[in-house]
């Protein structure tokens, strides 16, 4: 405990004072050792102590600590001091210097009372009278309201700044927070750090190649001189693994600002392209899923081989014996718990040779490669026909999602929806947009390139064992990651593998059965087509047996015995609807052109077959008089017909 400078001239009741400012800038404002606020508070507390005829025996100063929490070093020391020393008064300049939280205010006051001391404020009259206690409660509530309201206003301002593309808070490593004065106004902005910015850009580009681990990349960056940004009192320090991992996950480097879980487009200069940033995220996620880590003994099979008994990863172990050191693969699960697995260590070179031999089991014969190539080419051709329809669906979906995003942002700008709902909806729209864009990217894929890659994959499947045997360690690792999800080691000579995409489909029995079924269907269709063509062709064999000569068919100059174009032309014949002739034309036909025939009792319409007779046949058969026919047509009622010859009414039958 420090010796108080007030102990020598202490007279009257013992008192302590508590002084606080919220930020380091306030404590160092104006270039003074304690700024301006702390000396002013001290002077006011001394005057209050003099009015109480108390002697200040100790002071506790918080230089840059917020009162929203009671976890402050000088406050904890004050409460401990009260528990050990008799103190009459605890003097503060204002109640909010002690606490800005109602719960903390109650707890601190309770601790002060239990120590036998009394809280005194320079600015407020908060004694132990009922009115003093009421005022104390009111002032504590006002202090809490002020703190919460200020936090809300600050949050509103920083959120709006992020919406506008600004940087709320300190920029990450590789950027500098700067200030300048324009027309008497202070403008804060962000620029690329000329020293650390290029190093961070190189870190992203290097890690995106997939050839670096976090630890190796950190070692290289440290060797190149990358450190944290120095502060006023702390020099720059080398990064640690967790810090570098966090930086690689930050979208700020591709020009985006993430604030409170929401991502906005930033105005600062990006250090990497979105493609490189997303590739880094994919590699980080893949290594997290595979659990790959740096080991003391690296090997290209690391992370790809597993124990055949317990399923744990196999790790490299160098055993010493017989005057040398021998590398082995041992079970990681057994190393952690010897009773959990009985897998025995296997020599690394034996496992390597067994994996080379295992590639022969996944290699395809040349005839199967040809059959698979034909089958998959047909299936790929079918996908082309569906791509345009799917493209239209996804483009309409993207336009709808973009409209929803714009409406959501407009509602957020108008303070119509809370921030948590904005975040959840933005996550939903982002996921849906990424899904639609992924579908469009898949649809827009070049089918020719896909077919070429398919042929390359099938060619690789036909000679994968020889290619793997001749490959370097790095390429062997790529082979294993491409062909297998995992390689399971049962012993030095027995290995099984779980195929990865697309080899689990290309090398599967289901695909081979599908090829066989397709070939059988094609053969059946070919036979049926040949039988139909044979049935339609002339029977030349019968003509030859009869001893006759068969004339060459006349195809009309075409390439087929069937006529290419009908006599009426290319257009199909139009359907003719039967119509009833008009009364005038029937009358003229009977009495002008066919008058002679009718007069003689004959009608040419009756000469042909019955099905070709006109609709007016019954009238002709009865040889109606013209006047009777006209009346029949006008009224639609059959009157008693007249005989055409005599003019007398004939009997209706």
Q: What is the pLDDT of residue 352?
A: 87
70, 97, 108, 623 from 100: Cα distances, Å: 9, 8, 11, 122
Average pLDDT, the chain: 75
Least confident of 54-63, 332-341, 449-458: 449-458
Lowest mean pLDDT among 260-269, 369-378, 475-484, 612-621: 612-621
Which of 41-45, 370-374, 375-379, 632-636 shows the lowest per-residue confidence on average (mean pLDDT)?
632-636
- Closest residue by Cα to residue 348 from 302, 308, 310: 302
In degrees, to the nearest 5, what angle opens at C-alpha 52 toward C-alphas 50 and 58? Answer: 65
Q: How remote is the C-alpha of 17 from its chain's centroid?
A: 57
Give the H or E element holding residue 595. Answer: helix 595-599
What is the reported pLDDT for 91? 92
647: left (phi over 0), alpha (psi -120 to 50) or beta: left
Mean pLDDT of 498-510: 72
Count Cβ atoms below 10 Å from residue 247 Cβ, excluding itself.
17
Name which of 165-179, 313-327, 543-557 the model is least confident about: 543-557
* Contact (CB, 8 A) for 204 and 244: no
- How long, in residues, is the chain? 653
**Residue 297: pLDDT over 60:** no
Rounded-to-integer distance, Cα 249 and Cα 523, Å: 57
Q: How many CB atoms lie within 10 A of CB 197?
A: 18
Torsion angles phi and psi, residue 192, rounded to 5: -70, 130
Residues 171, 203: Cα–Cα separation, whole Å: 17
Q: How confident is the model at residue 5 (pLDDT cuts 50, 70, 90)?
A: very low
pTM for this entry? 0.43
Q: Would you state the pLDDT for residue 607?
A: 44
**H helix intervals, 272-365:** 274-290, 332-336, 348-358
**Residue 159's closest CA among 270, 269, 263?**
263
Helix (H, G, I), strand (E, B) or coil at 258: strand
Q: Backbone dihedral region of 184: left (phi > 0), alpha (psi from -120 to 50 degrees) or beta?
A: left
- Per-residue pLDDT at 253 exceeds 90: yes
Lowest mean pLDDT among 336-345, 402-411, 511-520: 511-520
Q: Which residue has the tokens 């059988």?
A: 520
In this predicted structure, the answer to whether residue 598 has a pLDDT above a threshold of 90 is no
The arithmetic mean of pLDDT across residues 629-652, rounded, is 46
| Residue range 617-625: mean pLDDT, rounded | 46
Across the range 270-274, mean pLDDT stands at: 91
Q: What is the pLDDT of residue 261?
A: 80
pLDDT at 248: 93
The dihedral over CA atoms of 364, 368, 369, 373, expressed in degrees to the nearest 10, equals: -140
Q: Are strands 54-63 and 13-21 parallel, antiparallel or unpaired?
A: parallel
Instruction: Return the pLDDT at 186.
Output: 82
pLDDT tens-digit series, residues 63-105: 877 766 777 888 889 999 998 999 999 999 888 888 877 788 8
Q: How confident is the model at residue 7 (pLDDT cuts 50, 70, 90)?
A: very low
Confidence band for 594, pLDDT divided at 50, 70 and 90: very low
Question: If you average pLDDT over each of 26-35, 92-101, 553-562, which comes out highest?
Answer: 92-101
**pLDDT tens-place string over residues 134-148:** 887 888 788 778 777
User: So what's the pLDDT on residue 470?
Assistant: 79
Query: Residue 639 has which token pair?
Result: 């009157």
Tens-digit pLDDT profile for residues 382-426 = 666 667 677 778 888 888 888 888 888 788 777 777 877 877 888
490 or 128, which is more confident: 490
Instruction: For residue 174, give both structure tokens.
Output: 């590789």
pLDDT exceeds 90 at position 211: no
Task: Write the CA distances from 82 to 58, 76, 126, 431, integer angstroms.
Answer: 11, 10, 20, 57
State the residue for tokens 């317990």. 310
What angle separates helix 197-208 from helix 214-223, to the nearest 10 degrees?
Answer: 150
Structural domains in the chain plus CATH codes: 13-159 (3.40.50.1390), 188-228+237-290 (3.90.1750.20), 305-361 (no CATH), 366-462+501-505 (no CATH), 583-635 (no CATH)
Q: Report the distance separating Cα 155 and Cα 169, nearest Å.
A: 11
Tell me: pLDDT of 366 over 50.
yes
- Min mean pLDDT across 5-9, 287-291, 511-515, 579-583 is at 5-9
């Amino acid at each position: 405990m420090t010796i108080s400078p007030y102990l020598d001239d202490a007279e009257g009741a013992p008192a302590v004072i508590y002084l606080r400012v919220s930020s380091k800038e306030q404590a160092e404002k104006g270039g003074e050792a304690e700024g301006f606020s702390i000396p002013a508070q001290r002077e006011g507390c001394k005057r209050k102590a003099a009015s109480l005829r108390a002697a200040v025996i100790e002071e506790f100063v918080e230089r840059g600590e917020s009162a929203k929490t009671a976890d402050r070093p000088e406050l904890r020391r004050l409460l401990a001091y009260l528990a050990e020393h008799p103190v009459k008064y605890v003097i503060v300049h204002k109640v909010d210097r002690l606490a800005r939280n109602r719960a903390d205010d109650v707890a601190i006051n309770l601790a002060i009372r239990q120590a036998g001391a009394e809280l005194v404020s320079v600015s407020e009259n908060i004694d132990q009278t009922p009115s003093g206690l009421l005022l104390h409660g009111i002032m504590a509530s006002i202090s809490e309201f002020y703190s919460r309201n200020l936090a809300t206003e600050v949050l509103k301002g920083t959120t709006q700044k992020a919406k506008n593309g600004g940087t709320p808070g300190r920029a990450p490593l590789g950027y500098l927070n700067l200030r300048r004065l324009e027309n008497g106004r202070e403008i804060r902005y962000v620029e690329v750090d000329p020293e650390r910015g290029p190093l961070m850009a190189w870190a992203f580009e290097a890690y995106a190649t997939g050839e670096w681990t976090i630890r190796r990349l950190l070692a290289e960056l440290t060797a190149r001189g990358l450190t944290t940004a120095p502060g006023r009192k702390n020099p720059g320090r080398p990064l640690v693994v967790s810090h570098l991992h966090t930086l690689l996950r930050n979208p700020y480097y591709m020009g985006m600002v993430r604030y409170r879980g929401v991502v906005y487009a930033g105005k600062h200069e990006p250090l990497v392209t979105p493609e490189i940033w997303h590739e880094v995220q994919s590699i980080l996620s893949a290594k997290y899923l595979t659990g790959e880590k740096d080991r003391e003994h690296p090997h290209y099979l690391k992370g790809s081989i597993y124990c055949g008994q317990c399923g744990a990863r196999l790790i490299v172990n160098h055993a010493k014996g017989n005057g040398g050191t021998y590398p082995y693969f041992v079970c990681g699960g057994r190393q952690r718990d010897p009773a959990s697995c009985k897998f025995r260590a296997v020599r690394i070179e034996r496992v390597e040779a067994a994996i080379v031999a295992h590639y022969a089991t996944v290699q395809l014969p040349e005839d199967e490669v040809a059959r698979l190539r034909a089958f998959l080419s047909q299936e790929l051709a079918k996908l082309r026909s569906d791509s345009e329809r799917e493209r239209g669906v996804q483009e309409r979906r993207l336009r709808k999602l973009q409209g929803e995003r714009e409406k959501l942002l407009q509602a957020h700008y108008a303070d119509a929806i809370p921030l948590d709902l904005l975040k959840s909806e933005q996550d939903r729209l982002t996921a849906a947009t990424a899904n639609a864009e992924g579908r469009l990217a898949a649809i827009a894929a070049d089918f020719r390139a896909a077919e070429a890659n398919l042929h390359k994959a099938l060619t690789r499947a036909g000679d994968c064992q020889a290619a793997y045997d001749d490959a370097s360690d790095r390429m062997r690792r790529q082979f294993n990651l491409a062909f297998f999800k995992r390689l399971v080691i049962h012993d030095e000579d027995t290995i099984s593998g779980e195929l990865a995409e697309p080899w689990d489909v290309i090398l599967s029995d289901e695909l081979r059965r599908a090829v066989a079924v397709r070939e059988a269907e094609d053969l059946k269709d070919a036979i049926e087509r040949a039988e139909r063509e044979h049935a339609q062709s002339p029977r030349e064999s019968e003509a030859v047996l009869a001893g006759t000569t068969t004339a060459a068919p006349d195809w009309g100059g075409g390439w087929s015995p069937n006529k290419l174009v009908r006599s009426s032309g290319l257009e199909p014949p139009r359907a003719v609807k039967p119509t009833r002739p008009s009364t005038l034309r029937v009358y003229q036909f009977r009495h002008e052109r066919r008058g002679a025939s009718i007069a003689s009792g004959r009608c040419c319409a009756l000469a042909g077959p019955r099905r070709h007779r006109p609709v007016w046949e019954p009238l002709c058969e009865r040889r109606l008089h013209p006047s009777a026919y006209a009346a029949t047509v006008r009224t639609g009622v059959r009157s008693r017909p007249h005989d055409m010859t005599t003019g007398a009414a004939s009997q209706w039958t």
